[in-house]
Amino acid sequence: MSDYPYQDRFPVQRTLPEHGRPRADILAELATMAKEEDAFWETGKCSGTMYCGDHDHYDFLTEAFGLYAHVNALQRDMCPSSTRFEGEIIAMALDLFHAESVTDSEPAGMVTSGGTGSICHAMLAYREHGAARGVTRPNVIKPETAHPAFDKGCHLFGIELRVAPVDPVTTTVDLDWVAANIDDQTVALVGSACNYGYGTVDPIADLGQLALQHGIGLHVDGCLGGWLLPFGQELGYDIPLFDFRVPGVTTISADTHKYGYALKGTSTLLFRDKALRNSQYFFLTDWSGGKYTSPGMDGSRSAGLLAATWASMVQLGREGYRGYAKAVFEASARMQEAVRSHPELRLLGSPTFLFSFTSDEFDVYHVNDFMRGRGWRFNGQQYPNAVHMAVTRPQTQPGVTDEFATDLADAVVYAKEHAAETPKSGAIYGGVAGGMTDEADEFIKMVMADMLDKQQAVPPA
Ligand SMILES: Cc1ncc(COP(=O)(O)O)c(C=O)c1O
């Protein structure tokens, strides 16, 4: 990854320009970069991240966004439409996760900025709710496979995070470990539906029973699968229940900016009980600037994102989501079949739309190295080394899964031939920290600085 992308074609902006440039020039420059970058995933060879991949849909959402992009959803007297969009997004999400089955409390929700936003808000709510019943040193228990957003949220809010091991074969959480590590300071358990790494679903019903026995919360992380797995269930795929029909589930995160096919920057967080949601509100009623409150951690928020998210949901409807889900599950099944056809490769656990595979015969990163050469972009995992593929709509285009099968067969031959060598690629989340090692602290700061600081007038030494 270059520190100065596009420096050979466009000027590097190191200071605020004295004079502005014509809009047409700027738009042409943006379009050049966007088109080239889109070409990368339009092939269908990129794991995850581009969930819809349909430019007509993106144009439609951009139009909806554009009508409200300049509006601050915090100023509700000026934009009652935001109240409509946000309320209806939450209502539709509660419907998807069967809030109607809750009879002993009042379900509620909120719209956040993304998966990490939803998880952090949930962690804050559990901490505050716990404090109200006298918990002073809160802890949360997550499976090792649950997303780093839980570690981030616990770090930010001073919550101890207890990390439960997972079964190496099923990749789902070790329930005995969880049960043995709950104490009087535990405020919540976590289960994923599904986890990012393996696409597997933790035993949510069993975790729910544990939560009920101890009178604590259970957060189901459906950030990735939340807007896809329910439709997989409707289509008859073998996906266990993980929503509010499962006793003990108290919160669910589900990202609209993933398989909700909305623009980047929104997620839904649903609560079985409104009191839990309300526990994370922040008020400052005696500020000289006026009485202040906002529904979550953000202050000003884009009404455009609310409008676009709402537009995506009502345009697709259940039928649209189900149709897309069918194609994604079918493409994933074909790709998993291709992996299974090679005895040298091993799928991890019982995956859903997302799968990971390793090899007991060679370092599976040799497969990744070869597939990169054919234009594939997977994510790399560790402990064990594995190649990760989250199937999205771009893989449902004609011919993509066949190409995967052909390229994979060649990759296995390559991996066997190069088994004695060290592979070039390694474990990377999201393609940012290439080459990151265990002694990460300084290295991470360097990588982040490379992204943010290099263009300055006096670049950092
Ligand atoms: C299972 C899971 N949870 C949470 C997240 C975090 O979501 P975000 O990157 O939108 O913050 C992800 C992201 O991929 C995820 O896969």
Summarised one tens digit per residue, pLDDT across range 320-367 is 999 999 999 999 999 999 999 999 999 999 999 999 999 999 999 999
Residues 6+ apart with CB under 8 A from 77: none
Binned at pLDDT 50, 70 and 90, residue 298 comes out as very high
Which range marks the domain in which residue 234 is found? 80-312
Place of tokens 């962690």: 123
pLDDT category at 433 given cuts 50, 70, 90 is very low
Q: Flag whether 225 is in a domain.
A: yes
Ligand 1 pocket check for 197: Cβ under 6 Å: no
223 lines ligand 1 (CB under 6 A): yes
3-class DSSP string for 40-57: HHHCCCECCCCCCCCHHH
Give me the CATH number covering residue 175: 3.40.640.10
Indicate if ligand 1 lies below 6 Å from the C-beta of 114: yes
pLDDT category at 266 given cuts 50, 70, 90 is very high
Task: Tell whether the model's pLDDT for residue 222 goes beyond 60.
Answer: yes
Q: Cα separations (Å) of 153 from 45, 126, 149, 160, 295?
A: 32, 11, 6, 10, 17
Residue 190: inside a domain, yes or no?
A: yes
Ligand 1 center–CA 201 separation, angstroms: 15
Residue scoring higher pLDDT (461 or 394): 394
**How would you list the strands of the sheet with 108-112, edge to edge?**
108-112, 267-271, 251-254, 217-221, 186-192, 139-143, 160-164
**Per-residue pLDDT tens for 239-248?**
999 999 999 9
Residue nearest to atom 16 of ligand 1 (CA): 196
- Tell me the torsion sign for CA atoms 51, 154, 447, 381: negative
Q: How far from 105 is each of 23, 187, 242, 420, CA to CA, in Å?
A: 53, 19, 18, 60
Q: Does residue 149's CB lie within 6 angstroms of at least one atom of ligand 1?
A: yes
- Structural tokens at position 220: 């189901």
Q: Determine if ligand 1 sits within 6 Å of the CB of residue 202.
A: no
Q: Is residue 102 part of a domain?
A: yes
**416 and 362 Cβ atoms separated by less than 8 Å:** yes
pLDDT recorded at residue 456: 73
Q: Would you say 229 and 222 are in contact if contact means Cβ atoms under 8 Å apart?
A: yes
pLDDT at 270 > cutoff 50: yes
Residue 351 CB–ligand 1 contact under 6 Å? no
Position 454 scores a pLDDT of 72
The total number of structural domains in the chain stands at 1
Report yes or no on 350 lying in a domain.
Answer: no
Evaluate whether residue 127 is within a structural domain.
yes
289 within a domain of the structure (yes/no): yes
Q: Is residue 301 part of a domain?
A: yes
What is the CA(223)–ligand 1 centre distance, in A?
6
Ligand 1 neighbourhood includes 242 CB (under 6 angstroms): no
Question: Rounded CA gap, 278 and 124, in Å?
Answer: 11
Alpha helices in 281-364 (DSSP H): 303-340
Q: Does 128 fall in a domain?
A: yes
